[in-house]
Each structure stands twice: as C-alpha cells, then as structure tokens.
Amino acid sequence: MEGNWLSRLKEYGDKAGRAVKYTQLSSMGPSDSPTFSYRVELLGRDKDEAGLRAEGSGSKKSLAKAQAARVMLAHLSTTKQTREPERPLEGDRAPSADIGNYVGELQELCQKRKWPLPCYVEQEFVTGQFLCRCTAVTVSAEHSVDVCIRAVGTGNSKKVAKAAAAKNVLSFANKLLDD
C-alpha cells in the first residue's frame, strides 16, 4: 500500500505542475528496529510561490515516505486553498524566546501511550509568515475509541509555528486524559 500513496502524490504533483521532494530527517533507535522520519515537500510552481510540507515516520524508509505522502494528500483533500492568516490567532504564536519543547513533549506522550506519532504539515507564505497543522490520534483500548486531534499554529518561523501547533494539540490531549 505504501507505493500507492507515493504514486498518488506524484500524480497530483504532475497534474498541478509541482515537483515532489522527499528528504530523510532522522533515523533513531537501535539498528534492529529503527524509526525513520521523512519530509515530503510539494514545491511551488515558481520561486515566489511557497510550497507545502508534511512529515511521516515508520519502521522502514518506505513506510515513513508513505506516511508523509498520506498526510500531504489528506491535507490537500481537506484544504482546497489556505489563505494566509491576517493576524496570528490568539494563543497560536509563541515568542521565539519562550517556545518550549512542545514538539518533544507531544512525541513523548504519544510514545508513552503507544499512540501513533503526530504528523505535521507546514505552509510558508510569501510574506514570511508560517502556518503549521498538527494531527495526533489518541487510541483507547478500554473504550474502543480513537480521537483525532488537529490544531493549527502560526508564527514568524517554521519552528515557532510547529511548536505552537504541538502546544495546542498537547493542551487538548491533556484535557482528554484528565477527564
């Protein structure tokens, strides 16, 4: 199935006149069971048009690429076109000196609870503003319920936007766990 996501995204890119680029971000864990992380970029048609980014991870490189492609396709199917925010939403923009490690905290929570790792889709606007969507799925065996948490963060850098999105997902996940 993993090749199907890759070919679907390639086909979308071809039809839209946009190149698809995969980049390995990391390889973590022991050599007998590593976890690979990949970023897929759907490049802009020209230098003035910003591209879209999504990340995925998996136990094999092909699975990590497939997850990144799946996240990108899910983003494209739910969002026809995203306008640049006129101003950052209240609470979505953290000052760069106080970013915190929300991305790491969210990843640790997912690993501890044996939830799938969160997925991020980033978008850069020509004005330099960044938007990041974070999706996390919580799994509850005792209640047979999966909850998909999606949040958006904005900022003046990819790092700030990603941290803000992770902070928003983490906040909601913690509220769910408290109930």
- 51 and 67 in a common domain: yes
- 179 and 93 in a common domain: yes
Q: Is the pTM of this model over 0.85?
A: no
List the one residue out of 153, 146, 155, 159 whose CA is nearest residue 171: 153
- 35 and 6 in a common domain: yes
pLDDT, averaged across the chain:
76
Segment 35-52 mean pLDDT: 76
Give me the pLDDT at residue 46, please: 61
Residue 86 pLDDT grade (very low, low, confident, very high; cuts 50, 70, 90) = very low
- 179 and 96 in a common domain: yes
Q: What is the CB neighbour count within 10 angstroms for residue 170?
A: 22
Residue 123 tokens read as 């978008």
How are strands ordered across the β-sheet holding 119-124?
20-28, 35-42, 52-58, 119-124, 130-140, 145-155
Q: Between these two residues, 5 and 80, which has the higher pLDDT value?
A: 5
Give me the pLDDT at residue 144, please: 57
DSSP code string of 60-88: SHHHHHHHHHHHHHHHHHH-S--PPPSSP
Q: What's the sign of the alpha-carbon dihedral 108, 171, 162, 149?
A: positive
β-bridge partners, 123: 52, 131
Q: Which domain holds residue 30?
A: 1-81
Segment 153-163 mean pLDDT: 86
Segment 72-80 mean pLDDT: 69
